Amino acid sequence: MDAFLSADAGRALRALTEFPGAKSVSGLLIGHKRAGRFFVESVFPAPSGFKPGPGNFPALNEIFGGRIIGFFVAGTGPAVRRPFLQPLACGRLLLEIGRGKSKSGAYRAFAVDYDGRFTTAPIALIHDEPPRKRPGYRRPR
C-alpha cells in the first residue's frame, strides 16, 4: 500500500504550512483509492481545532461526494495522530506535515487500521512535483 500526492495537493499543503500558526493546521484529503494506492487529488483545510468525529464526518463526506480518503495534520508523532485513531478513520490515509529543510516539506504517510486497537502503519508516499528551476541569473553565451 502507498499514497500518491498530486502536484496541486502538494503545493496546497506546502502553502498551508507557511501561514503563521501553521502548527494547528489540519484538514481533509480528497481523492480516491485504487488497487492499494491512495490518490490524493486535493486538500481541504479545516478550521482551527478540527477533530473528525461521527457528528461531522458523514456530512462532510457527503459534501465531497464520498471522496474523503483521509486526513492531514501539521506536526509529527503519536500525539498528533491520536485524535485520528477512531472507527471513521479506519482504512483511510493520515498525512503528517513536518517542517523539513527541503522546499517540498517533510511528509509522512500512514494507513489507519484496526487489529484489536487502532494503529497507524507507515506507507510510502509518492510526490508528483515537477522539477524546480533554480533561481538565478544565467549569463547569455
Query: In this structure, what C-alpha cell is assigned to residue 59?
Result: 456530512
Cα 73 to its chain centre, rounded Å, is: 7
pTM for this one?
0.83
Please give the backbone phi and psi of residue 84, each rounded to the nearest 5 degrees, phi first: -95, 0
Residue 84 to residue 49: CA distance in whole angstroms: 13
- Local structure of 16: helix, strand or coil: helix
pLDDT at 84 over 90: no
Lowest-pLDDT choice from 30-39, 48-57, 121-130: 48-57
* Average confidence (pLDDT) over 82-102: 84
3-49: per-residue pLDDT in tens? 999 999 998 988 887 776 656 788 999 999 999 999 999 999 988 76
Domains of the chain and any CATH numbers: 2-100 (3.40.140.10)
